[in-house]
Structure 1
Amino acid sequence: MWSSEKVKLELSREHYTQKVANYANTLKQLIVSDDIYDNDYDAGEWLESQSKLLHLLQSSPSLTAQQQIIQNSIASQSKNVKRLFTKITENKLKNADESIKKLLKSRLMTQLEVISADSMQLSGIVQQDIYNVIKRQVLFILIALGVSLCTLLYGSFRLTRVFRTSLKEIKTAFEKNHSGSFQKITLSNHSDEFASIVNAFNGMNKKLSETTVSLEVMKKVIEDKTRVLEELSNTDPLTKVANRRALFERGNMELSRENRYHNNLSLILIDCDYFKNVNDKYGHQVGDELLKHICKVCIKEIRSVDFLGRYGGEEFIIILPDCDLKGSIEIAKRIQHSLSENNLIVDNKKVLKVTLSMGVSMLTDKHKSFEQLIYDADQAMYVAKEKGRNRIEVSGTHSIH
Structure 2
Amino acid sequence: MVFAIIATLIPSLGLGLLSFRQNEAQISDNVTRELRTLTSDASREIELWIDKRAHEVRVSSTSNAVIDGLSAIARPQANIRANTVTKNPQALAHYLRSVQEKLDTFRELTVVNADGQVVASSAAAAAAVTLPDEWPPNSLTEGLVITPPHWDEQYTTTTLSIAVPVLSYDNLIMGALVAVLDLRTLQPHLKSAKKSPPGEVLLLDRDGRILVSSQIDAEKLKQLDASVLRRLQSQPGESLVFQGMTHREVIGLADVSENLPVTIVAERDRGEVYSAWVELRDMFLALVSALVIVVAAVAFQMGRSIVGPLQRLIGAADRIAGGDLEVRLTATRNDELGHLTQVFNQMADKLRHSHAEIMATNQAMQQQNQVLETLSITDSLTGLYNRSKLDAILSDELARFKRTQREFTLLMMDIDYFKTLNDTYGHITGDEILTAVARILVQSIRSIDYAARYGGDEFIIILVETSTDQALKTAERVRSQVENMRYSTNDSIIAVTVSIGVVQCQSGDMTPTAVFARADSALYGAKHAGRNRAFCVS
Structure with bigger gyration radius? 2
Normalised to the residue count of structure 2, the TM-score between the two structures is 0.34
TM-score normalised per structure 1: 0.45
Higher helix share: 1
